[in-house]
Amino acid sequence: MSSVGLLLLCGIFLGVAPAHLPTAHAAGDTVSIDATVDGTPVREDELLLDPSSSSSISVTVHNGTDTVRHVKTIRLSGTALALTFFSYDTTVPFDVPAKQSVTRGFVLDLGQLGTQATGLLPTELEVLDTNRDSIASIGTTGDVRGSMWSVYGVFGLAVFGLTVLAWAGALFALARRRLPANRWQRAMRFLPAGVGTGLVAVISLSVLRVMAPSPAAEIPFILGAAAVAFVLGYLTPHPSADSEAPFNPPFDPPFTDPESTQRITRPLPGGAA
């Protein structure tokens, strides 16, 4: 179970790592963008991404700098727990003169999205230059209508399975009185199960379209569940020393039949019996 615990413990670093929060750059001496998907402005509401149909995307780039900005690619991507689960790059080359705005539209085929993600995910729309560096970006919450057997769904099921194994290993050791005698070591034995529980909660809320993963949601769930499991492990009863000692049955002398024994007399010195 130690390998299972290490795998789940790695999840806490994914949960508490500062995720990239896509935001549009402020207007002024920088570059900013506005975008619509199927006529819905990005950032005003949840962005519906349906793999069964194509999406019409319109992007307006506002260049507030004194130089011409060369746009080559427009990227649409979705992340969760600091992992990217889908990303679409569309080549739309155009130039944005200084202090001007340019609008470009294109149709994006989302046919493969159903096998990549499902549920609510933080979604980012960004424009890249010729060196594939981000010029500006805008973020929203994407409502992906994918399959439960997508990459994101299978990832959640795998985390759930590892969490069940971690809890089973810890509770089995508790029932067999095989936990370490040190309280802190017992608490660390339960910690990976708590981390996995927090990850399962975050992914489940995302897949069920209750709440999208974000640092504000991930950190309380993961750290809260980890703390509860840590305390439970710390408060588990001390394993009995007698339970680890080998069983030694009481010694019984071998059974002897008194009738089968015979008294043997030997002559004493001097001829006495």
Starting at the edge strand found earlier in the chain, the sheet holding 54-63 runs 40-41, 31-37, 54-63, 101-109
d(CA 215, CA 133): 24
Average pLDDT taken over every residue of the chain: 82
pTM summary value: 0.73
Residues 6+ apart with CB under 8 A from 254: none
Residues 6+ apart with CB under 8 A from 253: none
pLDDT tens-digit map of 206-217: 999 999 998 888
Residue 57 near residue 105 (C-beta atoms within 8 A) = yes
Q: Is the pLDDT of residue 155 over 70?
A: yes
Q: Is the pLDDT of residue 160 over 90?
A: yes
- Say which range, 4-18, 56-70, 91-105, 223-237, has the weakest mean pLDDT: 4-18
pLDDT tens-digit map of 94-133: 999 999 999 999 999 998 999 999 999 999 999 999 999 9
Residue 74 near residue 107 (C-beta atoms within 8 A) = no
Where is mean pLDDT largest: 124-128, 218-222, 237-241? Answer: 124-128
- Say which range, 23-37, 72-86, 194-208, has the weakest mean pLDDT: 23-37
**Residue 188: how many other CB atoms lie within 10 Å:** 17
Q: Is the pLDDT of residue 182 over 50?
A: yes
Per-domain residue ranges for the chain? 20-144, 151-237
For residue 196, the Cα-to-chain-centroid distance in whole angstroms is: 7
What is 20-144's CATH topology? Immunoglobulin-like (2.60.40)
pLDDT at position 115, please? 93
